Structure 1
Amino acid sequence: MTETETFVYDVVVLGAGPVGENVADRTRAAGLSTAVVESELVGGECSYWACMPSKALLRPVIARADARRLPGLSQAVQGPLDASAVLARRDEYTSHWKDDGQLQWLDGIGADLYRGHGRLAGPRTVTVGGKVLTARQAVAVCTGSRALLPDLPGLDEVAPWTSREATSAKAAPGRLVVVGGGVVATEMATAWQALGSRVTLLVRGKGLLGRMEPFAGELVAEALTEAGVDVRTGTSVRAVSRQDGTVVVVTDGGERIEADEILFATGRAPRTDDIGLDTVGLEPGSWLTVDDSLRVTGTDWLYAVGDVNHRALLTHQGKYQARIAGAAIAARACGTPVPEADPWGAHAATADHAAVPQVVFTDPEAAAVGLSLADAERAGHRVRAVDVEFSSVAGAGLYADGYRGRARMVVDLEREILLGVTFVGPGVGELIHSATVAVVGRVPVDRLWHAVPSYPTLSEVWLRLLEAYRDN
């Protein structure tokens, strides 16, 4: 019988993605001994199967689209993309699915890595590969989320793509069916259509990007259609099968669609089903409820950071939460009180309540922060939406001939501050941080007049928005 080895740390982190890495970075910087447990690649979903590979696939697509809108350059970029070169660059950005560089970083901050599947085994205790790790201060669950597949007849035999296969595929399938209307669906439809696939996008709802302002999904749908994607809204999948290598999709209307691969981008589920939650009185497979310091409700030692708490399933928000959680763990370890309500402090993750920024890297890009008009009205705010077309901005015309895009700000009429901002158009992802600062900082509208945008840039849309608010 092998003797169990026991190791004691101040903090044990389950999961070595960007979220877990940031928790470990902050706790080590505070002088707390820290162990990190990872069953796959250090660097996590974002580095190998999500943010980095997807954006590496999309960047040449967007660059070519921008170039095609410029006289003097458009004729030079009319040919197809070099798919092999795009995929090779994608592979470089994933470090060819090797985590050597991330290992060096962990070693550099002085955190200990344990390879294997970590499970809770009671309060402050984690087991991994025959070893027992005990945490004096905290255990942080940073295990992320996985693709959620629907319960469909025939799905097991099809071997469907999820976001992982879509971002790591070695070649473009001839025909690709994408099921879903959110970020992953629209981005991957954009990428693979441009890389040579014939893409059919099946959307159960009325439009795309349902969590954003309606015009965002409308403009993205128009552009996808123009690019050659067959966008079908109000369409659900009833059954799938694979016959002689061909995927056969049957819709709820009885239509039969054939493809080489099918991607389901229909939601996420927490990776908490086999991490021992039952040993600490929590439900396996559940999202974990936390306070603003990211501590799991009803505990004084367990933290859930990133996707697992279901507050904002975005890498940058998870890293933000990790910085907060690491600071809170360190403060409590030193006996420093952490206030229950601390909206502007270092120990409270408040930005993921009403000021979450996000960019969808389609063509056009869609970027938003804060509340949409519908969300603001549902929350009971007295608001007004102000819309302008980017065609009114000189910088947009210089950016590209025939530039199409729209901006909206949602103004709280009681406090005269912004609750939300949405931009849709080529290149607008770089505008969203200015909107984030305005929303998070609760900058009064009359002060925004004195934030003068440079001319001629896309940022001048801020002046057009303020003028529209004043004049109507």
Structure 2
Amino acid sequence: MAENTWDVIVIGAGAVGENVADRAVQGGLSVALVESELVGGECSYWACMPSKALIRSGLALRAAQRVGGAAEAVTGNIDVAALLARRNTFTNNWDDAGQVRWVEKAGIDLRRGHARLDGPKRVTVTDDNGEISTLTANHAVVVATGSDPKLPNISGLIDAEPWTPREATSVKEVPESLAIIGGGVVGVEMATAYRDLGAEVILFARSGLLNGQEDFAGDMVAKALRERGVTIVKASPTRIKRTSHGIDIDTETESFTASEILVATGRTARTTDIGLETVGLTSGDWLSVDDTMLTHGTDWLYAVGDVNHRALLTHQGKYQARAAGDVIVARATGEPVSDAPWGAHVATADHCAVPQVTFTDPEVASVGIMSEDAEKHGIDAQVVDYNLGWVAGASLQADNYEGQARLVIDRERHVIVGATFVGQDVAELLHSATIAIVGEVPIARLWHAVPSYPTISEVWLRLLETIGRP
């Protein structure tokens, strides 16, 4: 075994791990970054980027079809081969050479292999040839291993060799039909994409779509999917069997057949084989952290991104990574730690200002606290709704525009604590809402933030008019 010592060891070279490593190096620390698969991780190759590339062409096509003059010029359907080729450009054909060059240029030492903790501040790395090296950290080890698909306990599911999101986003040939289990973000996004790709889609969503969002979001997405021919089944499969003709799927009352089946029922921590037991933690568990991403009960082990189960979104993981990288540097060099709420070394926004876009048609963009959750946060909430179709800019964006906006207002503090927009092209409205929530901008001050006319952003003025002047 070879022995190597670094200031910081980061396990997992996805977007989150890369950001921790980069911040630590910029702060003057030496960093070893360990990865067993592709540098760039899930987001780059099997999640955010390829999934949105699969979805984008259909959204663009329908956007043109909704505008008189442009609609008449659209004469064809999606070119599947061209769409998949474009998707491949975003994954670099699943080649991480470009990401590796960035890591090297940043001054980060990349180690290929499977990493396992081996006691406090020690990590063993087993490469593809079975050779083991041992790395020791002077200051911190960071776990940024992400999460894996969670498979439900359904008779025959494993034997049917289901797709996970990885197979769905890296597909080379589109199946004639696709069954999807799960009505969350992945389920509805892949239903959107595969219907555009020409597949018949059956979506099993026992509890409806997009639970955790405002109710109207799931209802509007369900309506649109049904109009495009997606079959939504409000039941869970009880038995699944792959045959020579496809996959047979039974619920308690009905039977269905599809060419392939995708499981999109949540995530589980990717911690089953990283040596947690060697430092007194439980293999397979999510890692519980404080707001500086330091794992509870330790003074050296950090966990960032999906693995800490705070907000399973790439942008939130990168936000956590910046805070963690900077606080590791501060603690290592004896600089002051800014760990009060909204300080430089904490991820306060995880608790109250997490933005998320679901790339369906219509899009769903939300941030902060949903109306039904306000009471449990101790907030006396005013809920304000406005029909986006009444906004001049929206009617210019698309003929017969359909959409909905909602603000959740804290009556006591007179600030916005939650916002949801549903409609075509609403994703770009979200950051203004995020700024208003993070900045705790008083409603009275927002009256002076004048939206340009005629844009969809004019909905902000209409919402304020509905609230009324303080």
CA distance in 2, matches of 1:76, 1:268: 43
Q: What is aligned with 1:151?
A: 153
Further displaced range: 449-458 or 371-380: 371-380
Residue number in structure 1 paired with 2:129: none
Note if contact 1:124-1:136 (Cα within 8 Å) is conserved in structure 2.
yes
In the superposition, the TM-score normalised over structure 2's length comes to: 0.98
Segment of structure 1 superposing worse, 366-375 or 240-249? 240-249
Letter in 2 for 1:350: T
Say whether the 8 Å CA contact 2:444–2:469 is kept in structure 1. Answer: no
Residue pair 1:176, 1:259 contacting (<8 A) in 2 also:
yes
Say whether the 8 Å CA contact 1:140–1:302 is kept in structure 2: yes
Q: 2:442 aligned with 1:444, yes or no? A: yes
Q: Which residue of 2 aligns with 1:218?
A: 219
User: Which amino acid counterpart does residue 241 of structure 1 have in structure 2?
Assistant: K
Corresponding residue number in structure 2 for 1:357 = 355
What whole-Å deviation, never above 9, does each CA across 1:82-130 have from its counterpart, x for those lacking one?
0010000001110000000000000001111111100000000000021
Structure 1 residues 11, 300: CA separation in 2 closer, same or farther (over 3 Å shift)? same
Aligned-partner Cα distance in 2 for 1:204–1:165: 23
C-alpha separation in 2, matches of 1:349 and 1:42: 25
Instruction: Tell me which moved more, 156-165 or 300-309.
Output: 156-165
Q: How big is each residue's C-alpha offset from its partner over 1:424-463, in whole Å with a ceiling of 9 and x where there is no partner?
A: 0000001100000001111110110000000011100000
Look up the equivalent residue of 1:387 and give its one-letter code: D
8 Å CA contact 2:292, 2:324 repeated in 1: yes
Q: Indicate conservation of the 8 Å contact 2:147/2:307, yes or no.
A: yes
- Cα distance, 1:471 vs. partner? 7.7
- Cα deviations across residues 310-364 of structure 1 (Å, max 9, x unaligned)? 000000000000000000000000112425x511211011011110000000000
Take 1:192 and 1:471, find their aligned partners in 2: how far apart are those partners?
A: 46
The residue identity in structure 1 corresponding to 2:293 is L
The 2-side partners of 1:176 and 1:410 are apart by 37
Give the TM-score normalised by the residue count of structure 1: 0.97
CA contact (8 A) 1:293 1:349 kept: yes
Task: Give the counterpart letter for 1:401 in structure 2.
Answer: D
Map of 1:74 onto structure 2: 71
CA distance in 2, matches of 1:167, 1:194: 14
Distance 1:75 1:257 in 2: 37
Partner of 1:258: 257
Where structure 2 has 5 or more consecutive residues not aligned to the other structure, the ranges are 127-131
Paired with 1:108 and 1:312, the residues of 2 have a C-alpha distance of: 30
Q: Please give the secondary structure, in 1, of the residue aligned with 2:114.
A: coil
SS of the counterpart of 1:118? strand
Aligned to 1:317: 316
Query: Which residue does the alignment assign to 2:195?
Result: 193
Change (3 A) 1:304 1:40: same
Q: Which residue of 2 aligns with 1:239?
A: 239
Specify the SS of the correspondent of 1:237: coil
Which residue in 1 is equivalent to 2:402?
404
* 1:22-43 deviation line (CA, Å, top 9, x unaligned): 0011000011000000000000
The one-letter code sitting in structure 1 at the alignment partner of 2:157 is L
Which residue matches 1:39? 36
Does 1:5 pair with 2:6? no
Partner residue in 1 for 2:177: 175
Amino acid at match of 2:187: A
Structure 1, residues 349-408: CA drift from partner, whole Å, max 9, x if none?
Answer: 101111000000000000000000001122221001000001221000000001000000
Matched, 1:328 2:357: no
Answering whether residue 228 of structure 2 is matched by residue 230 of structure 1, we say: no
* Length, aligned pairs only: 465
Q: Name the residue aligned to 1:306.
A: 305
Cα offsets for 1:114-152 (capped at 9, x unmatched): 111000000000000210000001000000001101122
For 2:43 and 2:72, the matched residues in 1 are separated by 36
Letter in 2 for 1:54: S
How do 1:159-170 and structure 2 match up within 5 A? Answer: 159-170=161-172
* 1:59 corresponding residue in structure 2: 56
CA distance in 1, matches of 2:248, 2:415: 51
Alpha-carbon RMSD: 1.0
Q: Would the aligned equivalents of 1:68 and 1:78 in 2 still touch at CA under 8 Å?
A: no
Matches of 1:182 and 1:78, distance apart in 2: 33
Q: Is the 8 A contact 2:367 2:419 kept in 1?
A: yes
Cα 1:286/1:377, change in 2 over 3 Å: same
Q: Retained in 2: the 8 A contact 1:392–1:464?
A: no
Secondary structure, counterpart of 1:71 in structure 2: coil
AA aligned to 2:206 is R
The C-alpha deviation readout for 1:273-332, integer Å capped at 9, x for no partner, is: 100000000000000000000000010000000000000000000000000000000000
Shift of 1:80: 1.6
Unaligned runs of 5+ in 1: none
Measured after TM superposition, the shift of residue 79 of structure 1 is: 2.6
Deviation at 1:162, TM superposition (A): 0.8
What is the deviation of 1:248?
A: 0.5
